[in-house]
């Protein structure tokens, strides 16, 4: 269950996290004015696969981890992604109107900085340069994640091809001699 308490964002500490590295302290303070910091307990869910009730927010992990879970073959859930401090989550519901394609679970005590869609749009209108910096940080995080996905896909494809070659060397029941 989440607990809501005041959390002062310290620009010097935040600049150690990847998302905030390109932002100057005054820009971090401006973000802190439009966003909110939330604290969650181990096992809390920020999103539930298949539901539309999630808020349309981006979250930067300040402390803890978030696991993205996807149902595989019915009810079985598999961790498909783990996010750590400095990484950004929430893309999947922030940029579309559909139901959440994954569940998002906290691992350990987790603190996240959340920015809503409406707040980000207002920020971009009032402070275009800061809005562009935030969007670039989001794109860089997405590109890094896509590169990781492509590498995993290539490794999985190579594994599947190796498995196919091995299976072709095995005698199949239909090919066995009758005797």
| Residue-by-residue DSSP string for 37-96 | EEEE-TT-EEE-TT-S-S--EEEEEEEEEEEEEEEETTTEEEEEEEE-TT-EE-HHHHS-
Whether the full predicted model's pTM is greater than 0.85, yes or no, is no
pLDDT (tens digit per residue) in 17-29: 888 888 898 999 8
* Residues 31 and 134 sit within 8 Å (Cβ to Cβ): yes
Nearest CA to 117 out of 141, 83, 136, 93 is that of: 93
User: How much is the pLDDT for 84?
Assistant: 92
Domain ranges of the chain: 11-169
Give residue 6's pLDDT.
Answer: 44
Per-residue pLDDT of the chain (179 residues; tens, 9 = 90+): 444 444 557 777 888 888 888 889 899 989 888 888 999 999 999 888 888 766 788 889 999 999 999 888 776 888 888 999 989 988 877 888 788 888 899 999 999 999 988 999 999 999 999 999 998 888 888 888 788 878 888 888 888 888 888 888 888 766 555 54
User: What pLDDT score was predicted for residue 72?
Assistant: 81
Domain spanning 11-169: which CATH class is it, in words?
mainly beta
């Amino acid at each position: 269950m989440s607990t809501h308490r005041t959390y002062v964002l310290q620009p010097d500490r935040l600049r150690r996290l990847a998302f905030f590295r390109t932002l100057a302290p005054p820009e971090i303070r401006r973000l802190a004015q439009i966003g909110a910091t939330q604290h969650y307990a181990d096992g809390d869910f920020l999103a539930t696969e298949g539901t539309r009730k999630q808020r349309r927010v981006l979250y930067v992990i300040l402390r803890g981890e978030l696991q993205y879970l996807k149902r595989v073959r019915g009810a079985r859930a598999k961790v498909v992604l783990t996010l750590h401090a400095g990484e950004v989550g929430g893309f999947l519901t922030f940029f579309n109107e559909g139901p959440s394609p994954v569940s998002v679970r906290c691992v350990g005590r987790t603190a996240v900085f959340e920015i809503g869609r409406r707040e980000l749009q207002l920020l971009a209108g009032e402070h275009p340069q800061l809005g562009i910096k935030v969007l670039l940080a989001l794109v860089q995080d997405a590109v890094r994640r896509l590169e990781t996905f492509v590498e995993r896909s290539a490794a999985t494809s190579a594994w599947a091809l190796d498995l196919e070659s091995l299976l072709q060397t095995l005698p199949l029941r239909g090919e066995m001699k009758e005797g």
